[in-house]
Amino acid sequence: MFGPAAAVLDPKAVPGFYVVDNLRAIQPADLEDKKMFTKIAMFVRDLDDEGAGFRAKETFEILLSLLDQNENLFQIDPELFRNYFNLLVILKGNFLGLLEVKGVEEFLREQALIAITIPLFPFRELDFLFNLKDKIAGFIQFDVWYLDEVDKNDILQSLIFAVEKNEEYLGEDSLKIEGKPLLEPIMANWLLDYNQSAHASFGKRSSFDRAKYLNASLLVRTLGSSQKVILQNFLEFYDWLKFEAKNLIHSKAQVKINELVLAENRKLKAPQFSGAEKPGFASRPSNTNFVNQRIGPAEDIQKINKTIEERSQSAPKMSAPPPLAPQAAERKLQPPPGLAFRPQKPGQPQTAPPNRTPDISQIRKEIEEKRNLAQRQIDKKLEDLKKRKTN
């Protein structure tokens, strides 16, 4: 799956870092230079350290386009091509929060094993800190204020199901699982054997349970030492997602509930002032003051009614306006400039004036369509690269 990268990844050989603008100036043929790869890899490492999702997405699209234009790189240097593909996986892992749930499911189904393997072997010399668990945790917690706990649990279950259907290969020998025919050594079948052999105790699996499975399983013995390390890390990620990631949802939801309760308590405990009692404000007589005062004995009510009657009698009497002249009655008010409407034809219903308030739902729909279109373009290019890689 991965080849030696020590000769390629020598940070001391090529000092300096690349920025997105510099990446745009790279030509497809420049990717064949291993020093160029080191520069790009160091820049991707910095993006991963910063967690810059939007810049990672922009870099992903640039690098994917360059690889798509260089059709000879895989034949010239297959290992270098695979290392570029690994960079794409790291970049995509850094903008998972910008994807829809289906995009994250596809990532876990097709590239989770690579994402877990990259920090262990191919890019060790550059000290990559990429951690798939942190990226998925960030996606689960993203927008937690706008989705209730039920929605988040549904999303989490779909992510678990995607990992359980992972299509990546580990090992070369077919897997013989009890009660099943010979199966391909893809991660979905490894997890099938793992779930049959290592039962969860107290609602979760510990490192002891994983070590017991790795030492006792006959299937694991067919793997090499590095493959066993990869499997161990994959099982650790799977157990975290299945048994522990739900705590992220509950903890965030509880924080939200606590904040709402605290806000309500503050409203209840806030002192209520009348107009005369407010510090720094003079009382101003108004009819609403009588409404806000507490109604006491009958004599208080009589005083209030008497005061209202006196005020109504002392108010100046308003005479009725004179009737409009016939010409004025027939005169129609003209709309202000810019708001005039086209006259309707006889017999047609009067149309309402155009709504000049922006339609938020329409704006969101347009943004969603643009994002889905960009995602489909990225997926198509990735699929083409994978086909070229397999060929």
Reported confidence tier of residue 249, pLDDT bands at 50, 70, 90: confident
> How many Cβ atoms sit within 10 Å of the Cβ of residue 71?
10
**What confidence score (pLDDT) does residue 374 get?**
73
Could you read off the pLDDT of 33-71 as tens digits, one per residue? Answer: 999 999 999 899 999 988 888 999 999 999 999 999 998
**What confidence score (pLDDT) does residue 151 get?**
81
Q: Residue 61 is encoded by which pair of tokens?
A: 């699209």
Select from 173, 167, 143 the least CA-distant residue to 155: 143
**pTM assigned to the model:** 0.62
User: What CA–CA distance (Å, rounded) separates 120 from 114?
Assistant: 10
Q: How far is CA 168 from CA 185, 198, 350, in A?
A: 8, 21, 63
pLDDT of 148 > 80? The answer is: no
pLDDT of 170 > 70? The answer is: yes
Could you read off the pLDDT of 295-310 as tens digits, one per residue? Answer: 444 555 566 566 656 6
Q: Please tell me which residue, 287 or 100, carries the higher pLDDT value.
A: 100
| Backbone Cα Rg of the chain | 34
The residue ranges of every structural domain in the chain are 1-130, 168-268
pLDDT of 239 > 90? The answer is: yes
Reported confidence tier of residue 3, pLDDT bands at 50, 70, 90: very low
User: What CA–CA distance (Å, rounded) separates 198 from 191?
Assistant: 10
Contact 151, 143 (CB under 8 A): no
Taking the CA atoms of 75, 76, 82 and 88 in sequence, report the sign of the dihedral they define: negative
User: What CA–CA distance (Å, rounded) separates 61 from 251?
Assistant: 35
- Per the DSSP assignment, residues forming a β-bridge with 186 are 169
Three-state SS at 324: coil
Residues composing the chain = 391
